[in-house]
């Protein structure tokens, strides 16, 4: 689960001890799984996500218009049937309090919170009943006003499961709906919907805020874990033989406003297994001393080499298709017969692939701070396949 040991995160950051793998991960000298990368998320990332990114996303929702909805609603054993239509349905306004962070990193857990979420959805509606007793046309709106909620979340890995506690929700007793139509029945519909919404809202809040008496957080937890259980790794990427591994190699660590995600995420090829036993595994270097980051990705040297090994053995070719890549430009590379055969200014694409297993070398002079002398060097022979479209 989220590590709670105060020294757990400090050990990963400060020490440079070798990363020992479990013997079960080694098959005939070929290591199947290892810590390919670490993702370090700092509290400042979630702070900026809440204050800068999320309000902009909500503002952008105001530009979205949903597709028209129409249908029939039979009532009273089909003795009364409503035909209805909704169009020009869109989010008129959406906002949230940007001050509290969406996620707060705690010691061994995180706190998820929303404060004062407001949502206003408007639509043009029309309905008529058969027999023609009721009919109306007008504009309607639905309102979510000052909705706040929070919960505490921890997790376990292998398989990934979450644990929720202290689930809480609160919303002010405001009208939920407003139908403004040409018929007096629109006011009746407004009152009925608001009455039902108030009962449902009050009942939902009492259930959710009831703690262990109703254990709603555990029911929500079960639903989330059910969904997480549907995602199974490795994920096959079709007939190419490529597949994606993606698991947590170790526990998620949460401490001192920092969260560490130790991952074994790698693109692999079923017909060629990389011998990672030749790698020199060392502890990650997730934090540069004296530098401030919001988000940081640290890769094992071995992960870079395995990715190149996978791409080479699978014969995967990197496509380059840009507007500037055409027969007129490429004739300078392959000769003027290209224009003769294919036509002038015809679109082309280039497939790039290595003809030998690439060699990659790391040249780092410092692990403690950023240095322009830290670089990777890739040595390989490349080939190009050029494909163009003929004029006809």
Asked whether residue 15 carries a pLDDT value surpassing 60, the answer given is no
Q: Which DSSP letter does residue 293 get?
A: -
The burial of 127, by beta-carbon neighbours within 10 Å (0-12 exposed, 13-18 middle, 19 or more buried), is given as: buried
Average pLDDT rounded to a whole number, residues 11-18: 39
Average pLDDT rounded to a whole number, residues 92-118: 91
d(CA 233, CA 229): 10
Confidence of residue 20 (pLDDT cuts 50, 70, 90): very low
> What mean pLDDT, rounded, does the chain reach?
82
Buried (b) or exposed (e) across 182-213, using 16+ Cβ within 10 A?
eeeebeebbeebbeebeeebeeeeeebeeeee
Percentage of the residues of the chain whose pLDDT score is greater than 70: 86
Asked whether residue 4 carries a pLDDT value surpassing 60, the answer given is no
Asked whether residue 98 carries a pLDDT value surpassing 60, the answer given is yes
Asked whether residue 26 carries a pLDDT value surpassing 50, the answer given is no
Q: Is the pTM here over 0.75, yes or no?
A: no
Percentage of the residues of the chain whose pLDDT score is greater than 90: 21
Domains belonging to the chain, first-starting first, are 43-228 (3.15.10), 317-392 (no CATH)
Asked whether residue 371 carries a pLDDT value surpassing 80, the answer given is no
CB contact at 8 A, 16 and 282:
yes
Sign, CA dihedral 241-37-163-208, equals negative
**Lowest-confidence segment of 31-35, 183-187, 260-264, 343-347 by average pLDDT:** 31-35
DSSP output for 71-133:
EEEEETTTTEEEEEEEEEEEEEEEE---SS-SEEE-SSSEEEEEEEEEEEEEEEEEEEEESSS
3-state helix, strand, coil in the chain (%, to 5): 25, 40, 35
d(CA 153, CA 109): 6
Q: What are the residues facing 205 on neighbouring strands?
A: none
Q: Which DSSP letter does residue 326 get?
A: B
Asked whether residue 315 carries a pLDDT value surpassing 70, the answer given is yes
Average pLDDT rounded to a whole number, residues 213-239: 87
Closest CA to 286 of 265, 245, 255: 255
Asked whether residue 202 carries a pLDDT value surpassing 50, the answer given is yes
Supply the Cα-derived Rg of the chain in whole angstroms. Answer: 29
CB contact at 8 A, 108 and 2:
yes
User: pLDDT tens digit string along 241-257?
Assistant: 899 888 888 888 888 88
Which pLDDT value is given to residue 285? 52
Residue 185 tokens, joined:
């029945």
The highest-confidence range among 109-113, 172-176, 215-219, 358-362, by mean pLDDT, is: 109-113
Which pLDDT value is given to residue 6? 37
Residue 48 tokens, joined:
């900026």
CB contact at 8 A, 330 and 348:
yes
Closest CA to 152 of 104, 190, 115, 118: 104
Confidence of residue 64 (pLDDT cuts 50, 70, 90): confident
Asked whether residue 46 carries a pLDDT value surpassing 90, the answer given is yes
Asked whether residue 17 carries a pLDDT value surpassing 80, the answer given is no
Average pLDDT rounded to a whole number, residues 295-312: 84
d(CA 147, CA 120): 12
């Amino acid at each position: 689960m989220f590590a709670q040991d105060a020294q757990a995160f400090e050990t990963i950051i400060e020490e440079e001890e070798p990363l020992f793998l479990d013997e079960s991960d080694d098959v005939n000298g070929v290591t199947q799984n290892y810590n390919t990368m670490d993702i370090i998320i700092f509290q400042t990332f979630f702070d900026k996500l809440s204050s800068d990114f999320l309000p902009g996303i909500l503002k952008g929702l105001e530009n979205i218009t949903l597709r028209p909805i129409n249908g029939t609603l039979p009532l009273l054993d089909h003795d009364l049937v409503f035909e209805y239509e909704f169009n020009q349905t869109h989010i008129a306004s959406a906002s949230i309090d940007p001050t509290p962070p969406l996620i707060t990193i705690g010691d061994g857990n995180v706190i998820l919170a929303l404060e004062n979420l407001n949502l206003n959805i408007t639509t043009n509606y029309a309905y008529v009943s058969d027999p023609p007793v009721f009919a109306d046309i007008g504009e309607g709106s639905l309102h979510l006003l000052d909705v706040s909620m929070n919960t505490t979340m921890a997790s376990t890995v292998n398989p990934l499961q979450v644990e929720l506690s202290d689930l809480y929700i609160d919303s002010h007793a405001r009208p939920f709906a407003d139908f403004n139509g040409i018929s007096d029945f629109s006011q009746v519909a407004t009152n009925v919907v608001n009455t039902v919404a108030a009962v449902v809202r009050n009942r939902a809040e009492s259930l959710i805020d009831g703690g262990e008496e109703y254990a709603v957080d555990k029911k929500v937890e079960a639903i989330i874990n059910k969904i997480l259980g549907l995602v199974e790794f490795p994920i096959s990427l079709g007939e190419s033989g490529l597949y994606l591994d993606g698991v947590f190699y170790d526990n998620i660590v949460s401490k001192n406003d920092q969260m560490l995600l130790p991952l074994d995420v790698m693109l692999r090829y079923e017909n060629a297994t990389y011998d990672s036993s030749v790698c020199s595994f060392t502890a990650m270097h997730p934090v540069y001393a004296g530098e401030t980051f919001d988000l940081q990705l640290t890769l094992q040297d071995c992960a870079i080499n395995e990715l190149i090994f996978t791409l080479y053995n699978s014969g995967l070719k990197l496509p380059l298709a840009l507007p500037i890549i055409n027969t007129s430009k490429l004739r300078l590379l392959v000769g003027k017969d290209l224009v003769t055969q294919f036509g002038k200014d015809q679109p082309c694409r280039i497939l790039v692939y290595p003809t030998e297993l690439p060699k990659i070398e790391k040249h780092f002079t410092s692990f403690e701070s950023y240095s322009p002398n830290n670089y990777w060097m890739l040595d390989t022979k490349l080939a190009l396949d050029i494909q163009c479209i003929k004029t006809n």
